[in-house]
Chains A and B, each alone.
Chain A
Amino acid sequence: MIAEAGHYALVLALGLAIIQSIVPMLGARWRDAGLMNVARSSALAQFLFVALSFGALTMLHVTSDFSVVNVFENSHSLKPLIYKFTGVWGNHEGSMLLWVLILALFGAMVAAFGNNLPLSLRANVLAVQAWIAAAFYLFILATSNPFLRIASPPIEGRDLNPILQDIGLAIHPPMLYLGYVGFSISFSFAVAALIEGRIDAAWARWVRPWTLMAWIFLTLGIAMGSYWAYYELGWGGWWFWDPVENASLMPWLSGTALLHSAVVMEKRNALKVWTILLAIITFSLSLLGTFLVRSGVLTSVHTFASDPSRGVFILLILCFFIGGSLALYAWRAPALRQGGLFAPISREGALVLNNLFLTTACVTVLVGTLYPLGLEVLTGDKISVGAPFFNLTFGPLFVPLLIAVPFGPLLAWKRGDLLGAAQRLFAAGVAALIVVALVWAWAKGGAALAPLAIGLAVFVIVGAAVELIERIGLLRVPFRTAMHRAIGLPRSNWGTAFAHAGLGVALIGIVCETTWNSERIASLKQNDIVTVADYSVKLESLIQRQGPNYREQIAQFVVSRDGQQVGAMSPSKRNFATRGMSTTEAALLTRGASQLYISLGEAGADGAIAVRIYYKPLVLLIWLGPMLMAFGGLLSLSDRRLRVGAPKPAKASRDLQPAE
């Protein structure tokens, strides 16, 4: 009964999406306020029905109704309750349902909070949003219906893939999808602007908070996913340049570019055509990511729920939206008027440089990700493009970008003073050089690139601080005045500084972890001791334990340093009987920003157990950086300018002024 209700709600949502994709657009054409307002109510109702449908699936999972295929295949009555919830999206059908739920949520948010948008723009935006929604509802209903029943219901389910039975599944996919799908709003705004043939600075001001919100979630989602892979896969790796990871990195890169170009458009009314293109590209890359992950055309360590036969359908959706929007762009974009002039050395120029490097880096990732696919289709050769490729291409492109980061905010709009900016960054440069020298001396030569890279990171971090100090006039004016100015400083300035500093922080973590990571693999018996980077790790005991739906073998270690005990660690190996699979639960011991990491291998016949022990210096900075970036984004989002809502454009917009 619940399954049928959920299915029916999804069909109703499809019906509403179809109405929403046609009626408001006709209304915008005929300037009929009544028809345009259909968008608002249908977007809200659509969200309601998708939410009902999602709620129904959740209910089925929680009550372990094994007469539903989806529940039977991915659940087990003994599974802990939290994984019964998260298991809803731990499979293909459920994750697609989560995808459309979030899509509908964003549509509903535009409908609910978009009161200051011109009526016709809102109608068009929501109509475009509904096209996407309709396509994906069709996809779910036609190829991946989560509500299918089994004729003769089994008593017990097949359980969720054990690797997914982790708290990471509760957070990572929803975050990532909020990011991916959030970019659909920028896309809809871009397409709506092309349809209306009008775009101005106010448009950028409406789009920016949505883009920023999606970007914050995507940043956190990627970082969260990376940490999850780090502790769950048991290899201690946090980024594999795996197709699925690349699929999330590409929209992040172009989304970051979009954020920056939207600033230029908002402040200076320039780069309009480019901003529109970026908005289209960013969401296209999100769709591409969905396709790569969902279709399983590329092998990945992270894909748990893929089905090749569904790939064709998503490919069609992909072609329709990317091709359609780019065609519309080619047709309408030349008609958009170009705005504001600026010199190459200026804030705008710096932001253009940022866009140039980010998009180029994004293209190299795209090439590396799709090249194996293309080659296989053309020649039948199977190849893999791994980390070396990306280190050789992505790395060099990011270096000039990072050098340029501190300069950008110090340059004036229209015409900047590069020499002046360089003088103000003198302190940051000196700090960077000192750090390079110190790290060099500490590492006694060694890898030459690492100290330089850390120096670069310090330059970025201190550069971000310099920008703030310059703005509040610290050291130049009395301290009290400076503090007053700091409080009065727009939050978006603080946001910029935090986000840029976060970049530097992450870089330090990445460089330290990759350069000075120490690893020991050994076969240990009870009371054996191994030493890893100043820490001695002793195997105390091996015990067996019964979990709710698994048996686990736990190894208990005692960690000491200089004869002093600093902690205990107990990694385990779990064996899930239902699927006959085992997972490795690594144990982590955090020391400052560094971590000791132990994961277990197989136990030998002689009572010895294979262990992998890592010491990862400053590894936590890798994820602290993105968190700082997201925090910066959040500060920027709370800026008064965006919070109060976009001011109306010069001409009246609430009444039915036609688009020019």
Chain B
Amino acid sequence: MTRKQRRLTMIGGALVVLAIAAALVLNALRDSIVFFTTPAVAAEKQIPPGKRFRLGGLVEQGSLTRGDNLAVSFKVTDGTATLPVTYKGILPDLFREGQGIISEGALDASGVFRADTVLAKHDENYMPKEVAEALKKQGHWKDDYGAKPGTAK
């Protein structure tokens, strides 16, 4: 093989791998990303049952009920709308009424959000960042969360 042929083999091989990677990435981005919404946005967008998304907001005061076998249900609110959520399992350490949470799951036919993950991720302000921003956008969050670079605000 000449130098040129060798180089072409290498470049060709590299391009093939890159093309495969690009195809994989595009395919995965189509199927496996999850959008974040709040109850108000979820109502507005009319998300079909079964489509996975992340729901963020505050746990409504007095809405938490515990059932048998670690089943829990509560309501998530963003001040404008509320959405009932059910979950089975252990809630995170920082889960409390009135506190911001993010849960992942999908709506069922009756419009209840069935969560399979509940996160009470928090910073020093005990508030998930997405939730704080969404609430702020709707005017329900007074405390200044701090300017964040690189985001549309």
Contacts and interface: CB of A to CB of B under 8 A. Distances in A.
Contacts of A311: 148-150
Interface string B59-70: 000000010011
Contacts of B150: 297, 311, 315, 373, 377
A602 B91 CA distance: 8
A376 B147 CA distance: 15
A523 B37 CA distance: 32
Contact of B24 (A295, A342, A393): A393
Interface string A563-605: 0000000000100000001111000000000000001011010
A364 B24 contact: yes
Contacts of A384: 33-34, 36, 54
B146 interface: yes
A396 interface: yes
A70 B149 CA distance: 24
Contact-residue size bin, chain B (C-beta under 8 Å from the other chain): 35 or more
B152 A376 contact: yes
A360 interface: yes
A382 B146 contact: no
A449 interface: no
A5 B93 CA distance: 41
Contact of A360 (B1, B17, B35, B119): B17
A312 interface: yes
A386 B34 CA distance: 8
A368 B28 CA distance: 10
A385 B112 CA distance: 24
Interface stretch (A115-123, A219-227, A299-307, A631-639): A299-307
A559 B94 CA distance: 29
Contacts of B121: 299, 301
Contact of A523 (B25, B28, B31, B70): B70
* Interface residues of B, dominant DSSP: mixed
B136 interface: no
* Interface residues of A, dominant DSSP: mixed
B47 interface: no
A343 interface: yes
Nearest to B146: A308
Interface string A365-396: 00110011100110011111110110011001
Interface string A385-426: 110110011001100000000000000000000000000000
Given A299-B129, A384-B34, A386-B34, A610 B151 contact: no
Contacts of B66: 604
Given A299-B121, A360-B17, A360-B21, A601 B35 contact: no
Given A371-B29, A604-B66, 20 more contacts: A234-B93, A299-B121, A299-B128, A308-B147, A309-B146, A352-B10, A364-B25, A368-B25, A368-B28, A373-B150, A382-B35, A384-B54, A385-B29, A389-B29, A392-B28, A392-B32, A521-B90, A522-B69, A581-B93, A584-B93
Interface of A: 234, 295-297, 299, 301, 303, 306-309, 311-312, 315, 341-344, 352-353, 356-357, 360-361, 363-364, 367-368, 371-373, 376-377, 380-386, 388-389, 392-393, 396-397, 521-523, 573, 581-584, 599, 601-602, 604, 610, 612
